[in-house]
Amino acid sequence: MFARAFYKLRYEENMDASDAHVSKPSSKKNRGTSLLDSGEDFEVLDEEDIDDDPPPLEDAGGGKGKNRNEAEKKSSDTDSDLSCQVDEWLDVLGNDQLKKKVVKAGKGRDTRPQKGQNVKIHLKTYLKDGTLVEEQSDLSFTLGDGDVIQALDLTVQLMEMEEKVLIQTDAKYAFGARGSLEPVVPPNAPLSLEVELLEATDAPDLELLSPAEKIALASHKRERGNVHYQRGDYTFAVNSYSIALQITESSSKVDISAEEENELMDVKVKCLNNMAASQLKLDHYDAALKSCVLALAHQPDNIKALFRMGKVLALQGEYPEAIQTLKRALKLEPSNKTIHTELSKLVKKHSEQRGAEQAMYKKMLGNPTSSSSTQKHRAKSSWGLSWKWLFGATAVAIGGVALSVVIAARN
């Protein structure tokens, strides 16, 4: 999460009333496309409570004229404070990369939208050189869901109803290092935004949505996750897919047909597959494996789920299980070259691993084949030696007996 930014507005005294007027920024910006470049989670905190009321005047006594002068001075100071509040740049995150400036006051802090509400804004997007990239008169999105660039998600939460602000954002909170094709924003382009908060309403009750509305909403969140994935923002992609899954899994008080139920299940499985792909990119192997298992529980022959499950198992070192999973996927789609390639690499790795393991075992236990041969040779040699001694002893004994017979015969 981003570090908590503590900030307060400073009020300069004795400002001229003319300083209260703010012209359009000369540095405006090109269009912006995708979402959050950073993969970090973020948390937006409300500003500290600021006492907007001017401090009470001290009772200095004196006549009517003096009191009148002091009252006029108080009124002048109050106008100056309000003007400064409108003109002051607010460093939203405390890193000077995302700043907000009020040019038209809103209806009060209690009108600020809450995370999870649907908001509608009027948006103008400019490049730093002042080029107008895009204008949207009624852009609607769910606050905090990652439906828009991060700069908007962070700053609109700090706006009051009917408030109009200027926003200066680094590319990190806009379209990042890749830029955007629609709208056209160059890579690493800082942007200037003009935003007016028009409306904020509570999100609809998912239980009361019709099946068609639920399918459309879940598909929209999934597509937003795809945008994040294509931009390399895998953490935000997982967040969008998770929101889409919550929609597909929500209970319903509205009748749903078998066809609509199958369509909703199809969206759910797609979300699980895409989430597994994002989790693989983040090296979250256990989470990716769980996503694959859930997808296969609904569609056992889903080739994408089988393929990603095989990859996860391989990365976890479970080569036999990974090979069996990929063989199952290949059986369902024999012409798939990607599965062929992955399976071939995996079989080769597994063979190399087995060879390395056998070599290690031989090194640890010695060479059992050589040892056995040596023992057999020794045993054989030992038996041969024994028979030789036995034969010799027998020959000597027989010779002795024969000699004794000859000597006795002579006598």
Q: How far is CA 346 from CA 44, 172, 283, 293, 355, in A?
A: 45, 38, 19, 20, 14
What DSSP character marks residue 34? S
| Dihedral class, residue 96 (left if φ above 0, else alpha if ψ from -120 to 50, else beta) | left
Q: How far is CA 398 from CA 330, 385, 388, 394, 404, in A?
A: 81, 20, 16, 6, 10
| Domains parsed from the chain with CATH numbers | 90-202 (3.10.50.40), 207-356 (1.25.40.10)
Query: pTM for the full model?
Result: 0.66
Element (H, E) at 196: strand 191-201
| Predicted confidence pLDDT, tens digits, the chain (411 residues) | 333 333 333 333 333 433 433 333 333 334 333 333 333 333 333 333 333 333 333 333 344 444 445 444 444 454 444 444 456 899 999 999 999 999 999 999 999 999 999 999 999 999 999 999 999 999 999 999 999 999 999 999 999 999 999 999 999 999 999 999 889 999 999 999 999 999 999 999 999 999 999 999 999 999 999 999 998 999 999 999 999 999 999 998 999 999 999 999 999 999 999 999 999 999 999 999 999 999 999 999 999 999 999 999 999 999 999 999 999 999 999 999 999 999 999 988 878 777 666 677 666 776 555 555 555 555 555 555 455 566 666 666 666 656 665 566 665
Q: How far is CA 237 from CA 38, 74, 197, 213, 284, in A?
A: 11, 53, 26, 22, 14
**Residue 321: HSE in the Cβ half-sphere, 13 Å Cα cutoff:** 11
